[in-house]
Amino acid sequence: MSLVDWIVLIATLGSLIAYGVWKSRRDQTMDGYLLGNRSLAWYQVGLSVMATQASAITFLSAPGQAYTDGMRFVQFYFGLPLAMIVISVTFIPMFHRLKVYTAYEFLENRFDLRTRTFTSLLFLIPRFLSTGITIYAPSLILSTLLNWNIVWTNLFMGGLVIIYTTSGGVRAVSYTHVQQMLIVFIGMALAGWMVVRLLPPEVGFTDTLRLAGKLGKLNAINWKFDLNDRYNVWSGLIGGFFLQLSYFGTDQSQVGRYISGESVGESRLGLLMNGILKIPMQFLILLVGALVFVFYQYHEPPLSFNAAERARVEQVPAYNALAEEHRQLATQKSREITALHTALERNDESTATVARNQIQATDVRIDATRSQVSDLIKKAGGDANDTNYIFLHFVINQLPVGLVGLLIAVIFVASMGSTASALNSLTSTFVVDIYRRMLRPTASERHYVQFSRGITVVWGVLCVMVAMFANRLGSMIEAVNILGSLFYGTILGIFLVAFYFKKLGATATFWAAVGAELLVVLFWRLDLMAFLWLNLLGCGLVIGLAWIIQRLLPEPDVS
């Protein structure tokens, strides 16, 4: 990176951290530190919710996913607007009326302490694991840029976020989210514009889209219903609905954002804004990945986008032969792409089909070469999965001075935003639902705020430890979603029973939740369905099992 890039990066990060620390200086009460005195406007709620969900993984992994798998991942978000409506109708009024700090407090009112505690634990486990992954993502960038060991960059990134989060309460987190989203939108729009500019002059934006489409990368919609297909319209609408409903309705990292709204109306409007904007935003991020794919049809891509792993095998004799073969294939493919582009310009479908078939045949040979390099990397003890490095490689090697710094800053601030929310929610859940409720119920406000700051550091350290192992998890964005799907369905089931099944009591719900969670993990281990459906399974099992248990063992305390 050039000096200008470093200045852009450091100035962006430094100003955000300073702003966060400055904003938090007044928050000396629990209400202030954990809920920002419930004073946020709708647009702050909306942008904060979006910034919490859009972590660095979104900007690293999603373009890479579009590059390798096309744009079908966008269907994952189809259930989100519907989930926002259900939460606006049901969850928000309830949380505001009860003035809760966490979503799980409500469960003790409705059921009992053990259900509240069990649900809190179901939240804490996946949230701290996935927060580790969100710390790992920007660490990856730093390690590639500075050629540092990933262990040190994890420690550095984790440390930076811990300082920022510990000193900043939820108000600081939410205020900085607004600026973060602005930086993110500007950065990604510029990246997309630059990709098209870097293509040959005769290839315009529409040509790029036609090429990407012909090569199968603009597969945004798949109507075919298939339980084992991760991304189609139905898995997105139904499975995605349950995942988003459980994520936004019961995950404290999101609940904490919208219960900080000034009123029910402000919270609702913020969530609905997220519901409308999220799919177009994700579409544009994936589109950038598809455009990067077209760019690498004209330019030779590396044999592995992970420079560190590639360096492991560059001295191996077999690698040189593969690199030479790959170079020839890339040149051949560049010619074939030009032929396809010419055929498309002339609307000559038969020539276009021939060119596309030739490209597909060349791609098979290129994939075989890349696969052999992956084998070499694996043999050398490395990680052959380079999906998360594709966009990063493009940014560092192709974008102009200044924009590289800005794009790296986008990834960093996105990570800071989501990690800050996550650490804040881990802290509030642990302090409110476990420490204050069970261990020390009568301490002063000042004590709880100080304890909250301390426990944020502990969670931060645990998350950094998870980050050390995150590179073994494949595509990071999928790893986070799989983790969520394992637990969120059960949590959602508990909340739905609480809201809609008034006749089901505490004991039935608690044991149903325990049984459902065990069955969900079993289904996942046996690989019986795509992960998005686990949300529906977990949720349905809690409701079904609770109903059966209630029938078998009626509770005297049922309302």
Q: In this chain, which stretch among 56-64, 219-227, 292-300, 529-537 interacts with other proteins, using CB under 8 A?
A: 219-227
268's tokens: 């609702």
Q: Which is nearer to other proteins, 273 or 303 (CB)?
A: 273
- Binding string to other proteins for residues 516 to 535, with x set by CB under 8 A, is what? --------------------
Tokens of 228: 């084992």
Contact characters 433-472, other proteins, x per CB under 8 A: ----------------------------------------
Among 33, 42, 459, 533, binds other proteins (CB under 8 A): 42
In the complex, least distance from residue 263 CB atom to other proteins, rounded to whole angstroms: 5
Tokens of 476: 């990071």
Given a contact cutoff of 8 angstroms between Cβ atoms, the answer to whether 248 and 382 are in contact is no
Q: Which residues pair with 40 in a beta bridge?
A: 261
- Please state the closest distance from residue 286 (CB atom) to other proteins, in A: 11
78 is a site residue for other proteins (CB under 8 A): yes
Nearer to other proteins, 214 or 312 (CB): 214
Segment lying near other proteins (by CB under 8 A), choices 84-92, 388-396, 417-425, 512-520 = 84-92
Among 20, 36, 81, 126, binds other proteins (CB under 8 A): 81
Q: CB of 343: closest distance to other proteins in angstroms? A: 15
Q: Which stretch binds other proteins (CB under 8 A): 125-133, 134-142, 262-270, 419-427?
A: 262-270
With binding defined as CB under 8 A, does residue 354 bind other proteins? no
Q: Is the dihedral of CA 418, 88, 126, 393 positive or negative?
A: negative
Q: Among 16, 220, 303, 470, which residue interacts with other proteins (rule: CB under 8 A)?
A: 220
**Residue with smaller CB distance to other proteins, 88 or 165:** 88
Q: Which is nearer to other proteins, 210 or 257 (CB)?
A: 210
User: Which one of 17-25, 78-86, 407-415, 476-484 is the stretch in contact with other proteins (CB under 8 A)?
Assistant: 78-86
Angstrom distance (rounded) from CA 67 to CA 225 = 24
Distance, in Å, from the CA atom of 555 to the CA atom of 257, rounded to the nearest integer, reads 36
Beta carbon nearer to other proteins, 85 or 462: 85
Choose between 223 and 364: whose C-beta lies nearer to other proteins.
223
24 lies in the binding site for other proteins (CB under 8 A): no
Residue 35 CA: distances (Å) to CA of 32, 237, 345, 431, 503: 5, 31, 57, 13, 32
CA distances from 349 to 101, 297, 355, 385 (A): 61, 20, 10, 36
Residues 45-74 that bind other proteins (CB under 8 A): 74
Q: 4, 221, 308, 316: which one contacts other proteins (CB under 8 A)? A: 221
Residue 81 or 417 having the CB closest to other proteins? 81
In the complex, what is the shortest distance from the CB of residue 282 to other proteins, in angstroms, rounded to a whole number?
Answer: 11
Give the integer Cα–Cα distance in Å for 414 and 421: 11
Binding other proteins (rule: CB under 8 A), the pick from 94, 198, 213, 383 is: 213
C-beta of 276: minimal distance to other proteins in Å?
Answer: 5
Q: Does 219 engage in binding with other proteins (CB under 8 A)?
A: yes
Using CB under 8 A, which of 127, 268, 333, 436 touches other proteins? Answer: 268
Footprint (CB under 8 A) of other proteins, residues 155-174: none
- Regarding 348 and contact with other proteins (CB under 8 A), the answer is no
Cβ neighbours of residue 466 closer than 8 Å, sequence gap 6 or more: 128, 129, 131, 132, 133, 135, 136
Give the residue ranges of DSSP H helices in 99-169.
Answer: 105-110, 113-146, 150-167
* C-beta contacts of 362-370 below 8 A and 24+ residues apart: 362/329, 362/332, 362/333, 362/336, 363/333, 365/329, 366/326, 366/329, 366/330, 366/333, 369/303, 369/322, 369/325, 369/326, 369/329, 370/303, 370/304, 370/326
Query: Of the two residues 110 and 278, which places its CB atom closer to other proteins in the complex?
Result: 278
The number of C-alpha atoms within 13 Å of 386 and in the hemisphere containing its C-beta is 26
Q: Is 233 in the site for other proteins (CB under 8 A)?
A: yes
Closest of 282, 281, 292 to residue 194, by C-alpha: 292
- Count the site residues for other proteins by CB under 8 A: 32
Q: Which tokens hold the place of 187?
A: 């950065």
**Residue of 4, 85, 121, 316 that binds other proteins (CB under 8 A):** 85
Long-range CB contacts (within 8 A, 24+) of 152-158 = 154/464, 154/467, 154/468, 155/464, 157/415, 157/467, 158/460, 158/461, 158/463, 158/464, 158/467
Q: Which of 198, 209, 457, 468 binds other proteins (CB under 8 A)?
A: 209
* Residue 74 token pair: 């966008």
What is the C-alpha separation between 279 and 105, in angstroms, rounded? 31
Q: Which is nearer to other proteins, 262 or 363 (CB)?
A: 262
- Full 3-state SS string of 320-379: HHHHHHHHHHHHHHHHHHHHHHHHHHCCCHHHHHHHHHHHHHHHHHHHHHHHHHHHHHHH
The residue from 110, 116, 127, 210 that contacts other proteins (CB under 8 A) is 210
Interactions with other proteins, residue window 275-294 (CB under 8 A) = 275-276, 279-280, 283
> Which CB sits closer to other proteins, 2 or 263?
263
Determine the Cα angle at 149 with ends 144 and 151, to 5°: 115
| Among the listed residues 30, 269, 403, 416, the single contact to other proteins using CB under 8 A | 269
Nearest residue (CB) to other proteins, 209 versus 468: 209
Residue 518, Cβ neighbours under 10 Å: how many? 12
Please say which residue, 30 or 238, places its beta carbon nearer to other proteins. 238
What is the sign, positive or negative, of the torsion defined by CA atoms of 471, 472, 476, 479? negative
Alpha-carbon gap, residue 258 to 248, rounded angstroms? 9
Smallest separation (angstroms) from other proteins to the CB of 57 = 22
Give the footprint of other proteins on this chain (CB under 8 A): 42, 74, 78, 81-82, 84-85, 88-89, 209-210, 212-214, 218-221, 223, 233, 263-266, 268-269, 272, 275-276, 279-280, 283
